[in-house]
Amino acid sequence: MLEDLFSVVKTRFNGGDGKSDTVKKSKTDIPKGLLFKCPRCASVTLIEDFQNNGKVCPNCNYHSRLTSRERLDITVDKGSLEEFDAQMISKNPIDFPDYEEKQKALREKTGLSDAVITGRAAIRGEDVVIIVMDSNFMMASMGSVVGEKITRAFEYATENRLPVVAFTASGGARMQEGIVSLMQMAKTSGAVARHSEAGLLYITVMTDPTTGGVTASFASLGDIIIAEPKVLIGFAGRRVIEGTIKQKLPDEFQSAEFMLESGFVDMIVERKKMRRTLAHLLKLHNSKEGGAHE
């Protein structure tokens, strides 16, 4: 029944096919945005049920992407977030055509200043500095502002002896900023190193997708690396790697499960268990008393 309903909604969205008066009448009978069709298993679910399930498909456990605000809502204690550098925006360091106009349009569309939110918050009462990337803003590519905000977040955490939890989701470096973007890899990695040398805990949570220069820098440097189920984790794309090494890669290559089996990821945690897991790890490592390594 839901499949039939989805077909009607899809036909209405495409303007109708002229085959049936019933389809034409359905334009007023079916509210827009009523259904969610899973891109993995193609099952159809009421959008309300899908959202109430944390944007996870109830049939195949597909974890849909979340905005940074949605991620914060289900992770940190209500009202605990003190956001850092909320108004910081990128310049156009290499005069890339239309870059400033594109950023302005995305700021208006997403309500974000750039592709990451950073701040101080609490997770079930455990104080933490949190970093959440948002793929809705230029695929969460890491330009000068993203790198600077992440670096400042780690520096604040080091100074105030706080653990860091980073939710990564990125297509990599931001080509519109050229070498300035690539420099953020070293800058963020240096900030992570100083945080680690201070004996403090850093937890990475890799969400879909975590790729490119973000994977090659701060995302891979966590003391504990967590991933959501079946997310894409990697550096270069499959076709690039296969073309370079002249070999066929396994079907599950660059999946969270493959990374877990290979030892790159420490654990895979479903979204509904993430908040509880993070709070447990923060408490276990006794972050309030001075860090993970002391």
Residue 26 and residue 111 share a domain: no
Residue 75 and residue 51 share a domain: no
What value does the mean pLDDT of the chain take?
89
Reply yes or no on whether the pLDDT at 134 is more than 60: yes
**Per-residue pLDDT tens for 252-270?**
999 999 999 999 999 999 9
Residue 206 contacts by C-beta under 8 Å, 6 or more apart in sequence? 168, 169, 219, 225, 226, 227, 228, 231, 233, 256, 265
Question: Which pLDDT band, with edges at 50, 70 and 90, does 6 fall under?
Answer: very low
Question: Which pLDDT band, with edges at 50, 70 and 90, does 31 fall under?
Answer: low
Q: Are 196 and 157 in contact (CB under 8 A)?
A: no
- The runs of H, that is alpha helices, within the chain are 2-13, 21-29, 47-52, 68-75, 99-110, 144-159, 178-197, 212-215, 238-245, 256-262, 271-284
At 97, which CATH number? 3.90.226.10
* 163: in domain: yes
Res 109: pLDDT: 96
* 224: in domain: yes
What's phi and psi for 235, nearest 5 deg? -110, -80
* 162: in domain: yes
Res 157: pLDDT: 98
Residue 172 and residue 32 share a domain: no
Pairing state of beta strands 82-84 and 116-123?
antiparallel
Res 7: pLDDT: 55
Question: Which pLDDT band, with edges at 50, 70 and 90, does 73 fall under?
Answer: very high
Q: Which residues pair with 227 in a beta bridge?
A: 206, 268
Q: Are 150 and 178 in contact (CB under 8 A)?
A: no
DSSP conformation class of 97: T
Residue 102 and residue 30 share a domain: no
Burial tier of 240 (Cβ tally within 10 Å: 0-12, 13-18, 19+): exposed
Residue 237 contacts by C-beta under 8 Å, 6 or more apart in sequence? 211
Reply yes or no on whether the pLDDT at 8 is more than 50: no
Residue 234 and residue 97 share a domain: yes
How many structural domains are present in the chain? 2
* 233: in domain: yes
Write the secondary structure of 239-294 as one string of H (helix), E (strand) and C (coil).
HHHHHHHCCCCCCCCCEHHHHHHHCCCCEECCHHHHHHHHHHHHHHCCHHHCCCCC
Can you give the C-alpha Rg of the chain in angstroms? 21
Closest CA to 205 of 168, 177, 232: 168
What pTM did the predictor assign? 0.85
**Per-residue pLDDT tens for 161-181?**
999 999 999 999 999 999 999
Residue 150 and residue 8 share a domain: no
Residue 51 and residue 172 share a domain: no
Question: Which pLDDT band, with edges at 50, 70 and 90, does 36 fall under?
Answer: very high
Residue 202 and residue 225 share a domain: yes
Reply yes or no on whether the pLDDT at 283 is more than 60: yes
Task: Give the number of other Cβ atoms within 10 Å of residue 23's Cβ.
Answer: 15
Among 29-38, 99-108, 143-152, whose mean pLDDT is lowest? 29-38
Residue 201 and residue 222 share a domain: yes
Residue 76 and residue 184 share a domain: yes
* 294: in domain: no
Comparing 234 with 287, which gets the higher pLDDT? 234
Residue 29 and residue 143 share a domain: no
Count the residues in the chain.
294
Helix (H) or strand (E) holding 125: none
Structure tokens belonging to residue 222:
């966590």
Q: 62, 84, 115 — which closes off a domain?
A: 62
Q: 20, 41, 62 — which closes off a domain?
A: 62
Reply yes or no on whether the pLDDT at 4 is more than 80: no
Query: What percent of the chain clears pLDDT 70, i.e. is strictly above it?
Result: 86
Among 23-37, 43-57, 131-145, whose mean pLDDT is lowest? 23-37
Res 285: pLDDT: 85
Chain centre to alpha carbon of residue 97: 27
**Per-residue pLDDT tens for 201-241?**
999 999 999 999 999 999 999 999 999 999 999 999 889 99
Res 237: pLDDT: 87
**Per-residue pLDDT tens for 135-171?**
999 999 999 999 999 999 999 999 999 999 999 999 9
Q: 45, 62, 79 — which closes off a domain?
A: 62
- The whole domain housing 42 covers 1-62
Among 10-19, 45-54, 66-75, 89-98, whose mean pLDDT is lowest? 10-19
Residue 82 and residue 44 share a domain: no
